[in-house]
Amino acid sequence: LLSINRKTLITTFRGGNSAQGFMFDVTALNLLYILGIDIHTVLKNAMMDVEIYSKQDTYFGHEESPEDWGEPILSTSSMAKGSRNLTPLLDFNSSIAILAGQTRSIYVSSRTANLRYSNWNEAYDSFGNPDMEISVGSGIRLPFKNAVNNRTCNIALKYLLQTESQNALTNTALGNSSFVGTAATGDTK
């Protein structure tokens, strides 16, 4: 018996700062599949280009190393909604599987518009729920350059939570979707 629950975890829309991108870590507390991200923008009522990258393990120490991230998992254009509004992006072509206890990093970048994030000096250093934790990360002023620590992404992370009593998630259960990584082993980027 397989049960799949589509969920969203929103960090904050406090804003307060912006740059061309941000990096953060997602640590799964349960097996989950990241489907996509909606973002917070400075720009309003204009098209913007966005690229999203992901890699196994933490982003920390890899902020200025594009070779560690590989090709974008999503390159898209979207109509920016502006301050305090979610700017929806397409879901990823392939979801990102994260095993319980595993960490993946995500880098959201735009060459055409600044993305909102928040300076972070709070006592806690992550946003979470029973399924995952999203770490405080870094603002990135240029693609893969000029990282500034203690910045919190302003996002809505869309994901599937899988609970099961018998078998692993099948492609049939998700309409033949493909996945980045696998629940058995993860992947290397």
Determine the Cα–Cα distance for residues 145 and 176; give it in Å rounded to an integer: 37
Q: How confident is the model at residue 130 (pLDDT cuts 50, 70, 90)?
A: very high
Determine the Cα–Cα distance for residues 107 and 71; give it in Å rounded to an integer: 11
State what percent of residues in the chain have pLDDT above 90.
60
pLDDT at residue 170 tops 50: no
Buried b (16+ CB within 10 A) or exposed e, 133-146: bbbbbbbbeebbee
Cα 109 to chain center, whole Å?
A: 11
Contacts of 22 (CB under 8 A, 6+ apart): 107, 108, 115, 117, 137, 138, 139, 140, 151, 153
Contact present, 35 and 162 (Cβ < 8 Å): no
Amino acid symbol at 123: A
Residue with tokens 């946003």: 127
pLDDT at residue 126 tops 90: no
Positions of E strands within the chain: 2-10, 17-19, 21-28, 32-39, 44-56, 74-81, 94-98, 103-109, 115-119, 126-128, 132-135, 137-142, 145-153, 155-164, 178-180
pTM of the entire structure? Answer: 0.83
Task: Decide: helix, strand or coil at residue 174.
Answer: helix
Q: How confident is the model at residue 189 (pLDDT cuts 50, 70, 90)?
A: very low
